[in-house]
Structure formats: structure tokens, C-alpha cells
Amino acid sequence: MEGADPSRAWSFLVVNEGDRQHQGNQGYDDEPSRYYSWDSTVPNRDGPQEGDLCAVRDSRGLLGISQIDEITRSEGEEKTRLRCRECESTALKSRATVRPTYRCSSCKAAFDEPIEQPIEVTVYRADYGRSWVSVGGAVTAGELEADCYLSGAKQHAIRPVDPQALRQLAATRQILIAGEWWRTGGAVEALEIPGGHRRLTALARVGQGEFRRRLLERFGPVCAFTGPQPGKEPACGPRDRLRKRSTTRTRRGASAQGRSSRTV
Ligand SMILES: [Zn+2]
């Protein structure tokens, strides 16, 4: 598995509860950044192999990419399949707000209680957490569709993908993938940020204190960029510390003189 550049890649579609349209399948045990499950009713069930790349996506776009470390198969698992009461199709849509709850996409019949059919399946699970690289929405579903897929079967949960196209697309999004990141599981090339300090020469306005005082007098605690500020004090970044010092002083002075609430 730790040999040559993986020559095959697959996309795994993760279906969020909210967007699961076809309820004939009641969902799988998935943890998108670690493993993906499917069963023997799924097209391409025997496609993904250890060592292949996987692109895990949802209906909106790519969640991340990884290399499959292990595929486990568990035979003789029981599963309940939901079928249309009229035509026995499994293409049922479940509706959150409309009754009856289920509608058949094939014959358009609507009903609350579908036929429940117990079937025996083999459950597959691909584990890939070791070399997972989160892509976090940088590649949309449309881009994947246009550039990466080797088949147009959009409804399939597992689809073959061109690994080179996938990596090129990731690269255009500044997703830094080390040449063979899957060997070490070290996902992303870290850019080194130097530490320490250096001296700078800064330009300071002559009369800054008075300038600031007049600004506040005229405009109040309103930031030119973000508008009115919460509380009594304007928040303007690096000046905060200076302001706090002068505020304390003035408050003390003001209360000593019994004057009202100017804070600056
Ligand atoms: Zn039907």
C-alpha cells in the first residue's frame, strides 16, 4: 500500500439526514473524516481497495481527501429495506412537513407506512483516518462534477474519480498536499513562521492626544470602520491600552469634581 502513487480514486457521498432524499436505504454508519460504510446493495461496492485515494463529499462539495488504509467486510448483516406499497420501488422520498410522509418517485403514490423488507447484506467499511486532509468546502460539488468524475452516475454513493484531476483541483485551491502525504499521514506541508522580534520606526502624529480628544468630542465613540461601539469606549485596536490609562485618570478626576460621565 505504501508503494507507488495511487492510480485509483473514489468519491464517497456522505448524505446528511436533512438531504437524504431516497429513504429506501436507512443510512449508514459514517464518520466522514475517519471511515465510510456501505453495503452490497450499492453500485461499485467492490471498487474501492486498500491503497486507493478517496474523496469524501456531501451534496455541497468536497469535505476532504485521504488514502484508504483498510477495507473490512462483514457478511450476513441484516438490513431493512423500505419499499413503495404500490409498486415496491425503493425510490422513496421522505417528507418532513407533508403527510403522508413517504412519496414514491416511481409511481408517485404517497403513504405513511412503507413495506419493510428485511434483507441480508455484506457491510463494507473503508478506514482512512490516518492520512485525512480536510478540504472544508474549498471545492464545490459542481467543480467535482465538471473535472473529476469518470462516470456520470450522480445518484451513486461510490463513484470512480480521476486521481490526477482531483489533485490538480485541490492544488488550484491552495490546498497544500505534500507530494506523498499518505506515506506518513502528515497531511499538509507546514509553512514555517519565524518567531522573535525586530525594531521598527513608526510615524506618530504631533499632538495625537489632543487630536484624539477632539475627535471623540465631535463624533463620540464611533469607529470610522465599524460604526458605533458597544459601551462607552471606542475600540480602536492598538490604542486600547493608552486609552485605558487615560480613561482611568480622567474618571478619577471627573468624579472628584462631581462632573458627569465623560470617560475620555
Ligand atoms: Zn411506487
In the chain, domain spans: 9-76+119-183, 208-256
pLDDT of residue 19: 55
pLDDT of residue 227: 81
pLDDT of residue 254: 41
> Ligand 1 centre and the CA of 114: distance in Å?
10
> Ligand 1 centre and the CA of 113: distance in Å?
13
pLDDT of residue 95: 85
Q: Which residues pair with 124 in a beta bridge?
A: 38, 73
> Ligand 1 centre and the CA of 111: distance in Å?
10
> Ligand 1 centre and the CA of 99: distance in Å?
16
pLDDT of residue 210: 87
pLDDT of residue 5: 66
Which run of H or E residues covers position 169? helix 163-172
pLDDT of residue 211: 86
> Ligand 1 centre and the CA of 190: distance in Å?
54
> Ligand 1 centre and the CA of 159: distance in Å?
27
> Ligand 1 centre and the CA of 93: distance in Å?
11
> Ligand 1 centre and the CA of 22: distance in Å?
12
> Ligand 1 centre and the CA of 77: distance in Å?
26
Q: Which residues pair with 103 in a beta bridge?
A: 93, 110
The set of long-range contacts for 102-109, using a CB threshold of 8 Å and a minimum separation of 24, is: 102/23, 105/22, 109/84, 109/85
Taking the C-alpha atoms of residue 190 and residue 182, their distance in angstroms, rounded to an integer, is 15
> Ligand 1 centre and the CA of 91: distance in Å?
8
Mean pLDDT, contiguous 10-residue spans, the chain (264 residues): 70 74 60 93 95 91 91 94 94 88 95 94 94 82 91 90 87 64 54 71 84 85 79 50 46 41 42
> Ligand 1 centre and the CA of 232: distance in Å?
65
pLDDT of residue 246: 46
> Ligand 1 centre and the CA of 101: distance in Å?
14
pTM over 0.85: no
> Ligand 1 centre and the CA of 88: distance in Å?
6
> Ligand 1 centre and the CA of 14: distance in Å?
25
Taking phi over 0 as left and psi of -120 to 50 as alpha, with beta for the rest, 174 belongs to: left
> Ligand 1 centre and the CA of 103: distance in Å?
8
> Ligand 1 centre and the CA of 5: distance in Å?
46
pLDDT of residue 27: 65
> Ligand 1 centre and the CA of 116: distance in Å?
14
> Ligand 1 centre and the CA of 24: distance in Å?
11
